[in-house]
Chain A
Amino acid sequence: MCYSEQMTNITPQKKTVLIIEDERPLVQVIQTKLEKTGFDVVTARTVDQGLQYMEDIGNIDAVWLDHYLLGEKTGLDFVAKMKSAGSKWARIPIFVVSNTASSTNMQSYLRLGVNLYSIKAEHRLDEIANDIKLFLAKPDEK
């Protein structure tokens, strides 16, 4: 909690995006891009680490999520937890950005209520960052 207040104090106007992605070079470039787009960024490489940050940091505004992650759990486990009944994070937007383009996966994510599903190899980083920015700028969303 103390950590979160500290962050809010430093950059009160910035929104925070949690990136959950296991591929190190990708984490770095996504982080840079999102920071350039005007976000604060927290990064995690496993589902459990991601959930831990959700709990500890407290003011996460959006999640950038990959499907395959380090460890057994996939992005689907993360979304299921976030959207589970009574979850305090149910309204936090989730953007799945993955190369695992199987239709079944995509359907599962959309059914669980993620806000966007993009295939990494088919989009510019610009586009996805911009989509997130536009989404978070809408007054009724978050």
Chain B
Amino acid sequence: MSCLRTIDIVSLTGCNGIYMALIEAENLVVEFPVFTNSHRSLKNTFLNATTGGRIAHAAGNKVSVRANDQISFKITEGERVGLLGHNGSGKTTLLRALAGAYEPTEGCLNVQGRVASLLDISLGMDVDASGYDNIFLRGIMMGLSPREIRAKMSEIAGFTELGEYLDMPVRTYSSGMQLRLAFAVSTSIDADIIVMDEWLSVGDASFNEKASKRLKSFVENASILVIATHSEELLKDVCNRAFRLEHGRIVDEFDPRVEAVG
């Protein structure tokens, strides 16, 4: 038995304001089936069905990976949560579950608020289209309506400092310029909950400072931030709550502002 509830707060405006941004997980499990070639083919499923007995028994023990194991927490408005843990400890999977991409295999997850997923900010970009087209495409991906994008277009274009390049295909951009564009669009939306994999840093020194400022105000405008990171400094700087993940479980929770990480 599992459940996922997502409520888009933006769509609820006008409902006498009792709705607050919130993430609530109860025994959240995210478990991936692992398909080897033999598992994924129809032949095996069919053979299993016909032969029964021994092979069917073997098929019963399907290989699966528990990326998040019985996680429970409640994140309320104003909280900035950092996720710590080794590679493969389930941070990104948890972020994807919060973004609503993976529905819990078991347990419950309740997400209230408009989620901005900054897991891959280049998602949806088309290198052969112009910079302006890409602002549009990326905006659509972030859930903006065409009208919203057009309203934000000049602000986004101005921030990128790309000038006339915006009329050129993105293919002609350097990777830094492409990142600027993706970053500018991704941080231009109004979100209640931000889900981020590592703090984004873009461009050269001077631009990075400007970008950092924008990202900070983007995060400040949101009610909740959940960020996966390896950096202790960032954790102290940005977060007021931290979870340490190991083998898909939360093994430790602490306040990064008071406790030393370790």
Question: Does A pair with B?
Answer: no
Identify the B interface with A (CB < 8 A).
none
